[in-house]
Structure formats: structure tokens, C-alpha cells
Structure 1
Amino acid sequence: MNLLSRRQWFEQVSAPALATTVGVALLGSEANAATPTPANDDKLLGAKIYNIRDFGAKGDGTSLDTAAVQTAIDAAHRDKGGTVLVPAGDFIVGTIELKSNVTLHLAVQGRLLGSTQRKDYQDGKGVPSGNGNIVMLFAANADNVTIEGRGTIDGNGGTFYTGKGDGTGPGGQVGGNVDRPHLVIFYKCNNLVVRDTFFTRSAYHCFRILQCKYVNIQGVRIYNRINKNNDGFHFNSSQHVHVSNCDVACQDDACALFGSNQFVTITNCTFSTRWSIFRFGGGEAQNIAVTNCLIYETYGCPIKISAGRAQIENLTFSNIVMRNVTGPIGIGFGRKGNGGNTSQSEENERQSFVRNIVFNSIRATVVPRPVNHPDIPFEVSVYDGEVNSCITLNGMGDAYLENISFTDVHVTYAGGGTAAQAAKRDVPQITSEYFGVWGTAPFGPPAYGLYARNVKGLTLQNVRLEYEQPDLRPAVVFDNVQDASIASLNVQGNPDAESVMRFTRSKDVLLSATRVLTPAKVFLQLEGTDSEGIIIDGGDLRKASKVLAATNGAKESAAKVRG
């Protein structure tokens, strides 16, 4: 057997590929006229490098290079795969189709720059039309597609700004603007890799990853604040998705997970946006873990679950820092969906639930109201319900949130809540947006820390809720909460407020080792006739003038104070 040394192997195998990559640098002007390696040279089939300049791309920032880039991709696909190289230069393109077994590699100074002409873009072939399917880069029903390299994919999306969004968000306009290209769409693709590249200035969503499997996104940076509906990542019904070490600053949802996304991990990322970071709605969203993430300047709820007919379970959010946010967590669930018109037969066909959701090791500072990001070139409306926000767990009708836990959570609120907000008792039955619940007078939630309605199996352990300015609202409001365990809850009170906590229609709640941090009038106020099995076991309640009060038909015998 003839054995090659490592050096001999490298020379024989790698030299042809390297010559293709850096031919311009090594061969001088003759390389500019070189033709691509013939397809019948099968020594490097599946491993060749296709420099888009060799296919006629100019990269001068004025010429349209769509055809040249597409031809290079088609050649790599024909040759059983390979790497399409985008060297230094500004290559203007319209719609480009990525294909199976092809890697698009962008050199550090290489940039694909979106054309400013609508006529240069097409619908992604085979991509469904929901939310538009006009696109700059796409792949449909493809396998083993990769985008990599430290270059840039720039949508030039400011040229498509009309002042209108797509009409899907709160206050959506009729006839919203969907006639504009997304930056990247993957549809029904397997084994996707995106790494290290900078994605910016999309005219619409940055990434739409639809019904894909085995997706690995790492080291990506997104800066997408040039147009309305500038999402970062938008996943829909995808499985085995892993996002790590990414930095996302966008205008709309930073990491939307709609539909039946399953087996998803998101870790070691930073996020900032006007609207929400992790947004869930409908479908079978299951087995999702988010950890080690930093969220900053995010208004519109960092973690938002808004569902009607859905099967959402086994979601964990851990080791998360939120700095200057509103929300900060909102879960809304009603079996009949947003329209409330589901027939009984439809409900029987599909059981709906939101359950088994864990929040662990969370640190958050909550501002009194959203503010405009200085780098978003248009004003963003502030909705009434976004003012003086809190954590919201909102089940409606006969729908319950089940097995929700908060462990080692410390939230500091701006405060400033009013007596009118605290007096709110009739909370609207709305799931569409967390702040829509609080958009009717008096504006804002009735609690400064946590509001929970229709929850079974709620756990609060080592939770601390504080405010910076005096607040007349209770720290915690329960409405029809059953089977709850509260241990080592530390909350601020206010001697001018009715109470520190308020329970209505709540049963089987154990409070142990609870501390009131500042003077208060009443620790726990019971309301209505349906509460029972409330036990207050120990703790430090010295700063509350009265431990228990009962109003509006409630009886103090519904609660026991021990120790």
C-alpha cells in the first residue's frame, strides 16, 4: 500500500480547489479570463469552488449580477455540490435561488446588495404566499444548503418603504404592504447551516424558515431596522432547530416561533427590538429551550405567547437578563382563538392547552413605557396597555394555563401605577396581544408585578418584585388561580395601596417564607365568595399593618395564618 504524507495529500487534493479560489491573486490578469473547471473533471465533484466573477459578476455596485450568481449556483448544483464564492465587491442582485448541496460563501469584503428595482425580484419558486413570498435569496425543497462567511447580505430595504406595514400586527392597516422582498426564505429544506454572516436592511422579514428540519444557525449578526415588519428570525413549523451565538437588533419580532416548532434550542444570543423577542402563536409548539440570552431595549414583551387553538408545552426560559423592557412576559390563552367563533365540534376534534412552562434565573428591569429607538427611521405608536406593564398570565373562559413556574426571578419595575389601575377588576377576554388586555380604561394592569387569571399549578420560588417609584397597585393579583405554591416571595408594599396581594376565586394556595420589604396596609386581600384553602405559613410580614383582609363577600375563614 502506498501511503501519502499529510503534505503530499494536501498538495494533491487541495491545490486545485485553492487555485480556483485564489486564481486571480496567483495567476494575474490571465485568471480574469479563466473559465470554470469543466463538469467532467470528477476529481473534485461536490467540492469545487465557483467564483462568481468567473461567471461574469462585476461586483462594481452598479451592474446587475443576478444572472452570474445564479449561473454559478446552478453549476455547483449540477456538479453534485460545491462552494459558490462571493469575493470582495458589491454585487447587486435580485431574486437568487439556492440549491441542494451548495454552500454560498461570502468573503469578508464580499456583499450581495439587493437591487432597488421591484422588477428584479420574483416570488420564490415553490414558496407559499403567506406574508408574501417575494424574496432576495431562497431555497425550497432543498437539502444541505449553507450560507457562511463573514461578508454581508444587504437587502437595501429602505428603498421599499411606503409607511405601511403588512397589516398583521396590532392596529394593522387594510391593504398592508406585502409587495416587497424578504431577505432569506427557506421552505421545506433539510440540513441547513447559516454561520458567521451579517444580514441587514431587509425590505421585509430577514429570515423566514418554514417547515424545515435540522437547522443550525450560529454566529450570525442581524441589523434590521430600515422598514416596518423587520423581523429577525421567523420560524414556522420547523423541527430540530439550533440557534447560538447570534446578535439580533431589529424592528419587529426578533425570534418569532409560529406554528408547530419542535425540538428547538436558542442559546448565547443578544436581542433588541421594538416588539417582541420570543413570540409564539398557535400550532404545536413543544420542547423548546431558551438559555443564556441577553435582551435589551425591547418594548412589546420579550417573551410573548398568544394562542387560541394550540398545543403548547415543555418550554423553558433560563439564565436570561432583560434590560429596559416592557412586558416582560405575557401569556394569553383562550381555546376559541382570537375571533372567539370556534364551533364545539372543532374544539372536540383538537384538545388545546398551554402547559409546562418554566422561567428560571431571570433578571429584568421594566421601564414605564416604550420609547422610540433612535435608529428606527419612523415613529412607533405606544399602545395604552404597554404603560406600567407587568408579567401577565391570562387564561380566558374555560381555558387554563397549567404548570407554570418561576424560580429565582428578580424584576425591578419603574412603578408609578395609579389607584385607578389598581381598582380594575373586570379584565377583558382578549388573547391577541398581551397589552391589548390592558388597553381599556383605566389603562394598565391592576398589578405592578404579576397578574394571573385561570392558572392551575402555579409555582413561585425565590421571586423578588420591586419598584423604583411608588406604586399603588398590588404586587400580585390572582383571579381563579388553583393549586399554587409560593415560597420565598419578596415584594414591596405601599401604605397607601389597598394591599400587597389580592386573591379572587382562588383555591389551594400555600404561601411560605414570604417577606414584605416596605410598609404596607394589608398583606393579602381576599375578594368574592369562591376562595378557599389559602394558607399563609410563616415569613416576615411585620411591615404589613394587617396580614389578612376580606372584602366583597369574601370570608377571612377562607385563609389560615400560621406562624
Structure 2
Amino acid sequence: MNKLRIIALTAVLFSCIQLFAADYNASVFGIKSNGTTLNTTAIQKAIDFIHEKGGGHLHFYVGRYLTGTIELKSNVHVVLHEGAILVGSTNIYDYNIETPNTAFVYAKNADNISITGRGVIDGQGREVAYSLTDQVHKGIITDELKYDRPARRRPKGIYFRECKNVKIEEITIKNAAEWVQVYDQCENLEINKITVDSKAFWNNDGLDIVDCKNVLVANSFIDSSDDAICFKSHDATKMCENVEVRNCVARSSANGIKFGTVTSGGYKNFKIVNNKVYDTYRSAIAILTSDGGVIENIFVDSLFAYNTGNAIFLRIGERWGKRGVGSLNDITIQNMYAEISATKPDAGYPYEGPVEDLPRNISPASIVGLPGHDITNVTLKNVEIVYPGGGNKAYAYRGTKPADLDGIPEMADRYPEFSQWKELPAWGFYVRHVKNLTFENVTLRAKEKDYRPSVVFDDVKGAALKSVEYDFLGKGKKLVKYKSTGIIQK
């Protein structure tokens, strides 16, 4: 059965279940909306009671409901009406910090659950993170500090693990202490019309989909200080599969839409359709397998990126050698427009991406495999990327002679980022260790002179170039082919 039909039928069934579920007002359970009473026990009692009664809706109306960790149970549907705010306690001990995945709203092995309405989940993440850091400094809590940031016990906004038939709709989620929302090994997941506004602290991924099946993310706005929409695979025996992301807007001080990391199992059967990325520090779309995972059948259509650091980054790596090298196959990116910034795209946001990997001129889009592990069957069709140009060899230089190109390190074990090689020898596209590549109606524009050629192919085995336009002001070559065969230009 078509995956969209599966999601649609699941949504209809889910709606029918919700329609006949009982309704409970939060106040019945003594839950206070004054913003100062800690409601953790009362809210959990309400959820447990509704679960034990076979399910129903727990309604929160206008007010501020202060709470620590709450655990959602099967057949319980939280409804946050407009004006209702679930407010996270700023005391780290009000969270489930002894569990592997600390969270404000938590669920495990729960079926038929939802959080809907026009209300807000506010994690007060910066204050929570400071509370945790203070306890670590005082020696009361043991937690690894990285750059004075606790590594493990910061609560996520939402963490659902191994849940089925999950719906998140219309709510606003803000100010998480760590990743904003994580759906891990869930099935039949629908996220629709939500707003994420989380620039409260480091590692604020807006949305993490981990090893999930049958997922629809639609009509949502995500503004986060780390990767906005991120797909991960933490289990080598699992995969993220049958996923659609449609009609979303994303802003990030990292990547807009990213596959990885971690990529242990992999990803297959994705549709990323009609989305926008803006003011994003790293790549608009990054598809990466650096931990042994398989990526296949990824379709990206109508992606529009404005003021971003990089347009496209496809990469095979090998960070953890014991897992072996993954594969990246059958990638289509079409009807894409991107404008690359000459300056820092996320300048002025609360948590900017780091100034790193200098000196370098503006990096090109990149498709980079490894020797003996080609990225295969990549199609770019109707793609336009506008660069600032201005590459200056007096600032940073990478030539195109054999010694120059051979001198570019593979960096197989490096954390994958488009800027990891510092200076690259092209301003438009750098393609290395790739087999069966198609560029059709691809336009690359540079606004100012650049010393580098438009495109460099290094170890490309079969490429069809049709209606490719290189609009630049420099004196360099349009296309440099090195150790490449079967390049057909029309």
C-alpha cells in the first residue's frame, strides 16, 4: 500500500478514536494555572487516570501550568487550548534525569497519543540548563561538560520512544534545554501545523526523527539554534523510512534539512517537497552517511533557500571504522533555488554557528564519496544556485593541478560539514568519488569574480550534463575534469 495512504488511513482511524474519547478538564485533578504551583504530580495523576479508564482528552485552558517531567500514556490526548502554556520548572530535579533520555514531555511504548491545540510548551531551557550546570559545578550531579555544557541530562522538550499512532498538531514548542523534540523508533507519526521557536541554548535541534516509519511532517515553522529538521538513525538494525516533509519553513544556526548524524542504520523512501530554508548557517539540504548507514531513494522537490551558507552537501564518511562504510544511492534534487550568503547567514541570532574552518573562500555545493565507495545515481534537475563569488587566491588558494587536487584530504573520520576541507578548488560544485551523475538545467551564478573554476569533477565515473549554465565573471575554466570518465555534455 502507498505510504501516503497508510498515513491517511491511520489519521482517519486515529481521529475516530479521539472523537469518542472522554473529555476531562485539567482543573478536575487540582491542576493549577497560576504559573507558580508545581503541577507535576497532579498532571501525571490525570494522565494515569485517563489511561486506566481507557483513554480520553485532557484539556488545558488559558493559564500557565508549571510542571516537571510528565509521561504520556496510551490513548491519552493532551489538548492545549489557545492561551494555555505548559511551563517547565527551572529546577533540574523536577525532571527524569536518571533516565537515558531526559525530557519535559516523555512517552515510551505508548499507542494512540497526541498533543494538539493552539497552546504552548515552554521548556524554559536556558534557565534549566544553567540549573544543571550549577549542580555539576558544585559536584552534586556528575555529568560530562563540553565547553561548559552538560552533555547528557539536559531535558529535551518532547521525547517519544517506540510509540505508535502519534499526532502533534498546531502547538508551539519553545525554549528547550536540549533537542526540542525527538521521535525515536515511532510508527505512524503525524506532525502538522506546529511552530518551533527554540534558541534558548546549545544543541536545540528543532525536530529529530530517529529510526521512525511512516512519518508526515507538514505545514510547520521551525526556528532553532541547531539543525532545524534532522533525520537520525541510532540503531544499526533500524532505519528511518517512508517519510514525507511538505510545506515547511526552517531557519537554523546549523543545517536546514539534514540526514545524520548519527547514521547507523540509514534512511530510505523520503519525499521532501515544497519547503523553504532561510538565514541558515550551514547547508540548506545535507544528506550524510558517516557511520555505516544506507541512504537510498531520497526525492527533494521545490526547495527554496535564502541567505544560507551552503546549498547542497552529500557525503559518505567513516567516523567509526568498526561499523564500516555506508552507501548513498538514488538521490534526486529538482526545482531548487538557493542564494548563498557572502557573510554569516545567522549573524545576530542568540546562538550563532561558530566561526570556523578559516581561511577559506565561500564553499561550493559538494557531492563527496570515498575511494572505493562512490555516491551513485544522483540527479540534479532545474536547480539554480546564486553565489556571491569573490573568491580570492591571495586569501586562500587551492589550485586544479593534479598535485593540488590529490592534496585534498579524504577526511573520512571527520564530523561531516561542507566546510571541513577549508578551501576547495571550485566555487559552484565540487564532485568527488561519484558514479552516474546527471545535471539537467542546472544554473550556477557568481555575482563577483572568483579565481576558481565553476565545477570540479574528481574521480567521477559517468556524468550527463544537459543545459548547464555557468554564469561567472572570472577567467577560470567552467569545468575541470580530473581522473573522470564518461562525461557527456550537451
Normalising by structure 2, what TM-score? Answer: 0.86
Q: Does 1:155 align with 2:134?
A: no
Distance in 1, Cα, partners of 2:19 & 2:296: 45
Distance in 1, Cα, partners of 2:24 & 2:50: 7
Amino acid across the alignment from 1:190? K
Distance in 2, Cα, partners of 1:203 & 1:331: 30
Distance in 2, Cα, partners of 1:404 & 1:421: 29
Q: What is the aligned partner in structure 2 of residue 311 from structure 1? A: 294
Distance in 1, Cα, partners of 2:50 & 2:104: 19
Secondary structure of 2:328's aligned partner: strand
- The 1:74–1:305 alpha-carbon spacing in structure 2 relative to 1, beyond 3 Å, is same
Of 413, 417, 431, the residue aligned with 1:434 is 417
Q: What is the aligned partner in structure 2 of residue 382 from structure 1? A: 355
Of 295, 309, 312, the residue aligned with 1:326 is 309
Q: What is the aligned partner in structure 1 of residue 335 from structure 2? A: 361
Distance in 2, Cα, partners of 1:47 & 1:496: 70
Secondary structure of 2:271's aligned partner: strand
Q: Does 1:47 align with 2:21?
A: yes
Unaligned runs of 5+ in 1: 1-43, 165-171, 513-563
Q: What is the aligned partner in structure 1 of residue 319 from structure 2? A: 338
Secondary structure of 1:435's aligned partner: coil
Q: What is the aligned partner in structure 2 of residue 478 from structure 1? A: 457
Amino acid across the alignment from 1:333? I
Distance in 1, Cα, partners of 2:463 & 2:53: 62
Distance in 1, Cα, partners of 2:366 & 2:197: 29
Distance in 2, Cα, partners of 1:186 & 1:231: 15
Amino acid across the alignment from 1:428? P
Distance in 2, Cα, partners of 1:311 & 1:503: 28
Distance in 1, Cα, partners of 2:345 & 2:488: 39
Distance in 2, Cα, partners of 1:146 & 1:408: 39
Normalising by structure 1, what TM-score? Answer: 0.75
Distance in 2, Cα, partners of 1:124 & 1:222: 26
- Please state how far the C-alpha of 1:430 moved relative to its aligned partner: 2.1
- Please state how far the C-alpha of 1:468 moved relative to its aligned partner: 1.3
CA-to-aligned-CA distance 1:296-352 (integer Å, 9 cap, x gap): 011111211232312110001111110010121111113xx214x33xxx65xxx83
Q: Which structure exhibits the higher relative contact order, with contacts defined as CA atoms closer than 8 Å and separated by 6 or more residues?
A: 2
Q: Is the 8 A contact 2:225 2:352 kept in 1?
A: no
Q: Does 1:503 align with 2:481?
A: yes
Structure-to-structure mapping, 1:103-142, within 5 angstroms: 103-123=77-97, 129=100, 133-142=101-110
Q: What is the aligned partner in structure 1 of residue 44 from structure 2? A: 70
Q: What is the aligned partner in structure 1 of residue 258 from structure 2? A: 279
Distance in 1, Cα, partners of 2:310 & 2:73: 41
Distance in 2, Cα, partners of 1:183 & 1:495: 49
Distance in 1, Cα, partners of 2:209 & 2:343: 28
- The 1:485–1:108 alpha-carbon spacing in structure 2 relative to 1, beyond 3 Å, is same
Q: What is the aligned partner in structure 1 of residue 437 from structure 2? A: 458
Distance in 2, Cα, partners of 1:494 & 1:278: 31
Of 386, 393, 396, the residue aligned with 1:412 is 386
Q: What is the aligned partner in structure 1 of residue 139 from structure 2? A: none
- Please state how far the C-alpha of 1:505 moved relative to its aligned partner: 0.2
Q: Is the 8 A contact 2:387 2:445 kept in 1?
A: yes
Amino acid across the alignment from 1:501? L
Amino acid across the alignment from 1:384? D
Amino acid across the alignment from 1:421? Y
Amino acid across the alignment from 1:148? T
Amino acid across the alignment from 1:490? E
Distance in 2, Cα, partners of 1:410 & 1:124: 49
Of 385, 403, 408, the residue aligned with 2:377 is 403
Distance in 2, Cα, partners of 1:203 & 1:400: 39
- Please state how far the C-alpha of 1:71 moved relative to its aligned partner: 1.3
Distance in 2, Cα, partners of 1:179 & 1:217: 26
- Please state how far the C-alpha of 1:495 moved relative to its aligned partner: 4.9
- Please state how far the C-alpha of 1:181 moved relative to its aligned partner: 0.9
- The 1:412–1:246 alpha-carbon spacing in structure 2 relative to 1, beyond 3 Å, is same
CA-to-aligned-CA distance 1:452-473 (integer Å, 9 cap, x gap): 0010000000000001121111
- The 1:117–1:156 alpha-carbon spacing in structure 2 relative to 1, beyond 3 Å, is same
CA-to-aligned-CA distance 1:141-185 (integer Å, 9 cap, x gap): 000001000000100112034599xxxxxxx65974332211100
CA-to-aligned-CA distance 1:93-117 (integer Å, 9 cap, x gap): 0000001011100010111000011
Distance in 1, Cα, partners of 2:162 & 2:88: 24
Of 152, 155, 171, the residue aligned with 1:197 is 171
Structure-to-structure mapping, 1:9-24, within 5 angstroms: none
Work out the number of aligned pairs and report it.
442
Q: Does 1:236 align with 2:210?
A: yes
Q: Is the 8 A contact 2:171 2:193 kept in 1?
A: yes
Secondary structure of 1:217's aligned partner: strand
Distance in 2, Cα, partners of 1:302 & 1:85: 38
- The 1:197–1:187 alpha-carbon spacing in structure 2 relative to 1, beyond 3 Å, is same
Higher alpha-carbon deviation: 77-86 or 152-161? 152-161
Q: What is the aligned partner in structure 2 of residue 288 from structure 1? A: 270
Structure-to-structure mapping, 1:467-546, within 5 angstroms: 467-497=446-476, 499-512=477-490
- The 1:72–1:311 alpha-carbon spacing in structure 2 relative to 1, beyond 3 Å, is same
Distance in 2, Cα, partners of 1:217 & 1:123: 26
Distance in 2, Cα, partners of 1:303 & 1:101: 36
- Please state how far the C-alpha of 1:62 moved relative to its aligned partner: 0.8
Of 238, 245, 249, the residue aligned with 1:266 is 245
- Please state how far the C-alpha of 1:123 moved relative to its aligned partner: 4.1
Amino acid across the alignment from 1:186? F
Report percent identity of matched pairs: 29
Q: What is the aligned partner in structure 2 of residue 97 from structure 1? A: 71
Higher alpha-carbon deviation: 109-118 or 412-421? 412-421
Distance in 2, Cα, partners of 1:434 & 1:369: 18
Secondary structure of 1:302's aligned partner: strand
- Please state how far the C-alpha of 1:422 moved relative to its aligned partner: 4.2
Please give the root-mean-square deviation of Cα atoms over the aligned residues, in Å: 2.2
Distance in 2, Cα, partners of 1:98 & 1:458: 47
- The 1:468–1:45 alpha-carbon spacing in structure 2 relative to 1, beyond 3 Å, is closer
Q: Is the 8 A contact 1:228 1:251 kept in 2?
A: yes
Q: Is the 8 A contact 2:430 2:456 kept in 1?
A: yes
Distance in 2, Cα, partners of 1:427 & 1:437: 11
Higher alpha-carbon deviation: 452-461 or 275-284? 275-284
Unaligned runs of 5+ in 2: 1-17, 134-145, 234-238
Amino acid across the alignment from 1:430? M
- Please state how far the C-alpha of 1:46 moved relative to its aligned partner: 6.1
Distance in 1, Cα, partners of 2:150 & 2:319: 20
